[in-house]
Amino acid sequence: MATIGIGLIGTGFMGKAHAIAFNAVSAVFGDILRPRLGLLCDVEAKRTEQKSEEFGFERWTTDWREVVKDPSIEVVAITTPNHLHREMAIAALEAGKHVYCEKPMAVSLADAEAMADAALGSDRITLLGYSFAKNPLLSAAKHLVAEGLIGKVFDFRGFIDEDYVADPDLPWSWRLRRENAGLGVLGDITCHLVSVAHLLLGPITDLTALTETVHKTRPESNGSSVRRAVENDDVAHALVRFGSSALGVLASSRIAHGRKNGIRIELHGSNGTIVFDQERMNELELYVAGERKEISGFRRILTNAEHSPYGLFCQAPGHSLGFNDLKIIEVAHLLNAIAGREKPFPTFADGILIERVIHGFAESARRGEWVQIAASV
């Protein structure tokens, strides 16, 4: 079986998720390019050496440029803090590598545009880490919409809420600084909601938004009386219009107590409704109009082998996939795209449309008016 050399930059939460996926993808998908875990990179030598052994990499380094320059590395996976994405991704593309980069693309729209331009000038595959959009049930929802089961979709309701900084006394971190993180909730999680919206209904073309930094300062460290300014957004809401003419409401918060991974969407069509909740990620709710009134209502659909590629993980319906399984599906998609078997989504070209939407939120909130989202790359 053909192999492909993998270089991974970053050993944190998402770095581990990538490593799990690269290690598992061949066992799940079988006839696929087999990842060879060649080179792992992070800034701290002792940790990187330890993670290299745990993740199954052949070698390790503390210099990301070694990953980009290594002739045996064909795919560069980037799971670093946001402000490092531009330089690493562009360098990898210029070195002739395929690039698999976690979201958001960059801290600024200008940086993201530069990445998209570099990808357009390359014949290499790019893929952004929007693994929630790889859920088999969302693919099923997309097919149901395309075949017209719920009629013409005229309304999208989307919410994404978490509580990872809900505590106002949680210490300040790099995620709250524009120079390192860029946008706040918009760059952290709203972009996931936009990726799902674009998957199901196509690009958003216009929007008007409000954003708010609710907790304006945070302690510099645990127990510190010194407080530092929070430079980006906690909450963001928008009214949007899609190119399909559908309208939508998108709302997001990183300070919603009790919400852990609350991506919740509703598609309202002329003949029915589809409902999905990521915290119940193996269930889809479907309502089709016109049924006998005494049995009319939502039906619950559990993930099963009919929802490819669920059956490659487990033949038994309702046994459930998890977060890391979605990452395995995403890695399989990447490898199949490199092999010419699938069209990748979202590429850097797709991703720049997502970036324009989330930066459009910020621009609209600042200007207090509707903004148009450019569709050309």
Does residue 338 fall inside a structural domain? Answer: no
Indicate which CATH number applies to the domain containing 359: 3.30.360.10
Judge if the upstream peptide bond of residue 309 is cis by omega within 30 degrees of 0.
yes
Please indicate, yes or no, whether residues 256 and 125 belong to a single structural domain of this protein. Answer: no
DSSP 165-217: T-STTSPP-GGG-HHHH-SSHIIIIIHHHHHHHHHHH--EEEEEEEEE-SS-E
Contacts of 289 (CB under 8 A, 6+ apart): 151, 271, 272
Does residue 328 fall inside a structural domain? Answer: no
The pLDDT of residue 103 is: 96
Please indicate, yes or no, whether residues 141 and 224 belong to a single structural domain of this protein. Answer: yes
Please indicate, yes or no, whether residues 113 and 218 belong to a single structural domain of this protein. Answer: no
- Of 70, 103, 132, the residue that ends a domain is 132
Q: What is the pLDDT of residues 96-145, one digit of tens each?
A: 999 999 999 999 999 999 999 999 999 999 999 999 999 999 999 999 99
Does residue 139 fall inside a structural domain? Answer: yes
The answer to whether the beta carbons of residues 252 and 160 sit under 8 Å apart is yes
Please indicate, yes or no, whether residues 100 and 49 belong to a single structural domain of this protein. Answer: yes
Domain that holds residue 266: 135-317+345-372
Instruction: Give buried/exposed letters for 120-149 (b at 16+ CB in 10 A, else e).
Output: eebebbbbbbbbbbbbbbbbbbbebbeeee
Please indicate, yes or no, whether residues 30 and 69 belong to a single structural domain of this protein. Answer: yes
The pLDDT of residue 1 is: 72
Number of CB atoms found within 10 A of residue 20's CB: 17
Q: Of 136, 176, 158, 167, which Cα lies nearest the Cα of 333?
A: 136
Q: What is the pLDDT of residues 250-298, one digit of tens each?
A: 999 999 999 999 999 999 999 999 999 999 999 999 999 998 888 889 9
Does residue 247 fall inside a structural domain? Answer: yes
Rounded Cα distance, 19 and 38, in Å: 11
Which residues share a beta bridge with 275? Answer: 266, 285
C-alpha atoms less than 13 angstroms from C-alpha of 37 in its C-beta half-sphere: 25
Count of domains for the chain: 2
Does residue 300 fall inside a structural domain? Answer: yes
Q: What is the DSSP letter of 103?
A: S
Please indicate, yes or no, whether residues 193 and 169 belong to a single structural domain of this protein. Answer: yes
Burial class (CB in 10 A: 0-12, 13-18, 19+), 71: exposed
The answer to whether the beta carbons of residues 349 and 329 sit under 8 Å apart is no
Burial class (CB in 10 A: 0-12, 13-18, 19+), 2: exposed
Indicate which CATH number applies to the domain containing 8: 3.40.50.720
Q: What is the pLDDT of residues 150-185, one digit of tens each?
A: 999 999 999 999 999 999 999 999 889 988 888 999
Please indicate, yes or no, whether residues 70 and 141 belong to a single structural domain of this protein. Answer: no
Does residue 63 fall inside a structural domain? Answer: yes
The pLDDT of residue 153 is: 98
Rounded Cα distance, 113 and 92, in Å: 16
Please indicate, yes or no, whether residues 85 and 179 belong to a single structural domain of this protein. Answer: no
Q: Of 132, 143, 232, 229, which Cα lies nearest the Cα of 182?
A: 232
The pLDDT of residue 229 is: 95
Q: What is the pLDDT of residues 26-41, one digit of tens each?
A: 999 999 999 999 999 9
Which residue in this structure is represented by tokens 């120079």? 179
- Of 81, 109, 132, the residue that ends a domain is 132
Does residue 329 fall inside a structural domain? Answer: no
Dihedrals phi, psi of 292, to nearest 5 degrees: -55, 135
Rounded Cα distance, 130 and 242, in Å: 20
Q: What is the pLDDT of residues 57-67, one digit of tens each?
A: 999 999 999 99
Rounded Cα distance, 277 and 264, in Å: 4
Please indicate, yes or no, whether residues 268 and 283 belong to a single structural domain of this protein. Answer: yes
Please indicate, yes or no, whether residues 36 and 168 belong to a single structural domain of this protein. Answer: no
To the question of pTM greater than 0.75 for the whole model, the response is: yes
Does residue 225 fall inside a structural domain? Answer: yes
- Of 80, 100, 132, the residue that ends a domain is 132
The answer to whether the beta carbons of residues 44 and 80 sit under 8 Å apart is no
The pLDDT of residue 250 is: 98
Please indicate, yes or no, whether residues 294 and 354 belong to a single structural domain of this protein. Answer: yes
pLDDT tops 70 at residue 377: no
Please indicate, yes or no, whether residues 140 and 118 belong to a single structural domain of this protein. Answer: no
pLDDT tops 70 at residue 10: yes
